[in-house]
A and B are shown apart, each in its own frame.
Chain A
Amino acid sequence: PPAHSRNDWIGPPDKHSNLRPVIFYVPPEESPLERRLREARQEAQACDQRFWARHNRAFRQEKEEFIYSRLKAKGLEMRDETGQKATLNAEEMADFYKDFLSKNFRKHMQYNRDWYKRNFTITFLMGQVALVRALRWLRWKKKNV
């Protein structure tokens, strides 16, 4: 993002976590409330990034391992004659999906709780910041009238 910009910038989805990173603009006259908001958002972003990158990586890895073990059981190689990667069909993969979901259930429960808490806090802070800014603007308008 350009250096002169006064806004936050959001980027393309991350390769691992599929989340879009945000670069926050730090205004020179940032109030403590605004700083709290920005830091909360940065921390939330980092948490989410960590969780999903790790989770997706685990998914991909376990999926590969599952395919490999199933193919081996069937007596096939990972790649066939044409060099194409051998895959299992949806019905065979269904066992893996079910397994993966149940294995990660507690992890998701924990993440859900954290995510809801962070989401509410950040939105509430945003509300506070917006209110303060609105009042400030109204006061400025009254002064200039």
Chain B
Amino acid sequence: GLFVWHLKKTGIRQVPCQFVHLCHVANDRLITFQYFNFLKRMYVTQYNKDLSQRAKPKSDSIVSPFRELQQLDQEKKVIHKIRPVPPVHQPLSETSSRNELREVKSAAETADSVTPVRAESKDDRQWKEIKLRLDDLPGILARLSKIKLTALVVSTASAGFAMAPVPFDLTCFLLASLGTGLASCAANSINQFFEVPFDSNMNRTKNRPLVRGQISPLLAVCFAASCGVPGIALLTLGVNPLTGALGAFNIFLYTCCYTPMKRMSIANTWVGAVVGAIPPVMGWTAATGSLDAGALLLGGILYSWQFPHFNALSWGLREDYSRGGYCMMSVTHPALCRRVALRHCLALIGLSTVAPVLDITTWTFPIISLPINLYISYLGFRFYRDADRSSSRKLFFCSLWHLPMLLLVMFTCKKSFLEKEDKGDLLGGNHGRAMEIRLP
């Protein structure tokens, strides 16, 4: 059974009405559905990239989930109306007052959202006392650690864990997820700590906690340390040293390589793609304890995915990047930007075909994933040829649902490790096993 997502996107500029239909077979798939819902909402309401980002989850600002989603300027004042089947998360509206929204239910009506938006912009014009209020702290820390991006990073790590051909170990899974999440929070916080004046000048990022003075830089660094150290320790001691090393390396790559490189050379995009690719590899090594071909393949898929996602997103942010002094392909080498995006869309097709060769999935995977991979490649081609706003947006939005869908299909086509002995009912066996390993 596959999820059937029915997305009706009406008008990108105005209030997009996301109407999500879900047909799911098993109840326990609801969890993954909620993830997607969350994903969609996150993408629709808040676009900030740098995680866009190119942000990598380990807080890479590369593509979401790994990257920070970049906020498109036009989206600034857009209130997004989302009606998910089970309301899980509150919608996040860039413009609405965050505190107010915390209590608001998922479907925020446009009318309601307008007043909070005005309230916040008025709020913004006033002088505020720099005083840390304890009840604001969770919200502030959530924004500092880019909690939504972190959640997406953790979900890709979980995907890596789930795809590993070993019996599912719940404790290991939880420890790995927690460790990855903490490491991601730490990396994201340091990234924001490094980028305060630049963030203030870009529309997408100007409402971050450090920019607004809601938290002091010292506290941000302490928070990062108090997340990063336990996170890596948890991974090294509670899971295995390899995963811990990968986690530490990823934090380093994101904060000390990617973040400064953003302002120095366009090569930052490639570094960022690696940052985004590491979490699933970590998930895999957490489960198996070793770096095998499967881990690298999953990492490769995520690496390739970063490019259409980020390049399409960055296409609309060229003015802010130029003024802010960020060296991005979309500004300095636009043709390369589009070429690379297309190249990696096609690479995804290739990588999906390699999966059964490495015994990670059955041969149904490349067949079932072909339509979505072809579709994103088609959009990538359109972006390459047309090089305009609408094609870049189409490609970006496609990448948002393409990745979860691809991972889901991969999971359902996962080759059971017992299958090698029991050549019985292949698909049936897969499903059976897939059900057992469902996340609680």
Contact = CB atoms under 8 A, between A and B. Distances in A.
Pair from one complex: yes
Contacts of A94: 318, 331, 334
Interface in A93-140: 93-94, 96-98, 100-102, 104-105, 107-109, 111-112, 115-116, 119, 122-123, 126-127, 130
A18 B320 CA distance: 13
B94 to A, nearest CB: 15
A22 B318 contact: no
A14 B205 CA distance: 16
A97 B331 contact: yes
Given A18-B206, A19-B197, A90-B318, A101 B217 contact: no
B325 interface: yes
B127 A12 contact: yes
Given A1-B129, A5-B129, A100-B322, A115 B197 contact: yes
Contacts of A111: 325
B260 A10 contact: no
Contacts of B196: 119
A104 B194 contact: no
A97 B263 contact: no
Interface residues of B, number: 40
B136 to A, nearest CB: 14
A12 to B, nearest CB: 5
Contact of A48 (B125, B197, B263, B389): B197
A10 B218 contact: no
B131 A97 contact: no
Main secondary structure of the interface of B (DSSP, over half): helix
Nearest to A122: B217
B28 interface: no
A91 interface: yes
A68 interface: no
A79 interface: no
A52 B197 contact: yes
Given A52-B201, A56-B323, A127 B213 contact: no
A20 interface: yes
Among A7, A12, A23, A96, the most chain B Cβ lie within 10 Å of the Cβ of A12
Contact of A18 (B201, B264, B322): B201
A131 B29 CA distance: 50
Main secondary structure of the interface of A (DSSP, over half): helix
A32 interface: no
A101 B331 contact: yes
Contacts of B194: 116, 119
B325 A101 contact: yes
Nearest to A108: B325
B206 to A, nearest CB: 7
Interface in B159-197: 193-194, 196-197
A19 B128 CA distance: 14
Given A19-B200, A100-B323, A1 B127 contact: yes
B109 interface: no
A13 B129 contact: no
Contact of B218 (A19, A52, A123): A123
B327 interface: yes
Interface of A: 1, 5, 7-13, 17-20, 22-23, 48, 52, 55-56, 59, 90-91, 93-94, 96-98, 100-102, 104-105, 107-109, 111-112, 115-116, 119, 122-123, 126-127, 130
Q: 6 nearest interchain CB pairs?
A: A97-B322, A10-B213, A108-B325, A126-B218, A8-B130, A11-B127
